[in-house]
Amino acid sequence: MSLRPPRWLLRPLLAGLALRLAALFLAPSVPILGDSMAYVFLGRELRDQGRFSDPEGGVRPPLEPALVALGLGEATAGDPIEPGVCGAFPGVYLVQIVADLLALVLLARLAMRLFGERAGAATGWLHALLPSAVLYASTVVMAESVALLCGAAAVERLQALDRALSLRTRAWLPAALGLGAALGAGLLAKELGMLVALAGLLAVLLRPGVSVARRAAGCGLACLTLLAVTAPWAVRNLERHGLLLPTGSFGHVSVVVDNAPPGESGWLLLQQDKSLAARIALSHDILRRELFEYPALTAQRALARLRMLLGPEAALPAWLASGFDGYQADARSNLLMVRDAWHLRPGVGRTAQLLASVTSVLLFACAAAGLLLAGPGSLRRATLLLAVGLVISSALTVAEARYRLALLPFALPFAGLAVATLLDPAARAAADPRRMRSARRAGLITGALLAVTILTLPPP
């Protein structure tokens, strides 16, 4: 078997590599802000001292810091402890670029197997040219590229398991093992991996046409593998904090900060007891209270958060604007930061924001059309479950536009199918007319909705 990618994949892969290497020239001007600071600190500590510590706010998932440590290489005399710009770590970006391009290969090959070579090539080009994927891989130290790779691996193994469950063999065993391993890696990369895992496992359990026992066995083996992959990290957190935590804890911190009862400060509530167990218990209590004690305020907050989730990209353009345009974000709260960066003034940050906004509208409109063209299946079921879970989780906890990147590995193959079908007269003619009409309608409605929420509406 040749290791050389086929021609239809080689071109988008090389184009994606060229774009990401070109974007590296932006990195030296981008300051370390937000989560990037924590990842750089943890990666340096792991490289220099061989251990993970926990920032004051809680526990960070370990996969991105481990890859940062790998990308940093050996310490040198001129290696600063706290460099002023992310561009001080070119090796880290190369690791992120490799992860991003591996995701491209997995998703393009998956689309090819499901929908044909044209859809595979379209999926590869969509990923290669996507501004958000390019900039997150090449300009900031963040877990998005690694989470994208984990999601792509999970999507590929989910489809393999879906296919194998219908066979009268034990071919489902390695597929279930692979799915569990990919979902476990996703939890170790980013806390949103929990939503991906729930969507993927539910999609297996809800698969029609296979006995309940067979579905339960596939889901159970995937769960056991997930637990095995995350067990070392969970045991480490049990020993250090008294909690079997398989991922990070910053989601719980966000629940407290952004959902505090009326008249109370979430930051002050967190200071009452700084133990991780107490903070997680506090987040659970606040979730209960926001649903039953002040539901009207919760609904108001939920509406604002949905506008943030479906609004323009704010975090990454704000970081670029900080480096290039003299912009200083209002970082007193997540809501204030998003409001401040909703429409940046003209400059590098604003250009990145517009590119990310327009491509988000087009990508998810194409994905919606592709979901209708593809017909039923576990991958479509998992995509819809994840979308619903992301909306509910964001509405009740905390939201940013970049959280919808969790949908990318699920959406890209369907978007590739839609692009390949709409651009090919023969494919359009061969498609079922009713399905084509439904696909066009879904794409137009989704595109119009996102054009309003991302490009038109004022900040919440």
Q: pTM for the complete prediction? A: 0.93
Taken as a whole, the chain contains a residue count of: 460
Partner residues linked to 278 by β-bridges: none
The count of other CB atoms within 10 Å of the CB of residue 14 is 13
Residues 6+ apart with CB under 8 A from 370: 413, 414, 415, 416, 417, 418, 421, 439
pLDDT at 74: 67
pLDDT at 382: 97
pLDDT at 200: 96
pLDDT at 105: 96
Contact by Cβ (8 Å): 138, 24: yes
pLDDT at 81: 43
pLDDT at 80: 46
Contact by Cβ (8 Å): 357, 313: yes
pLDDT tens sequence across 35-90 = 888 888 888 888 888 888 887 778 899 999 999 988 887 654 344 444 444 555 68
pLDDT at 76: 45
* pLDDT < 50 positions in the chain: 1-2, 76-85
pLDDT at 367: 97
Q: How far is the C-alpha of 384 from the C-alpha of 316, rounded, in Å?
A: 26
Burial grade of 409 (CB within 10 A; 0-12, 13-18, 19 or more): buried
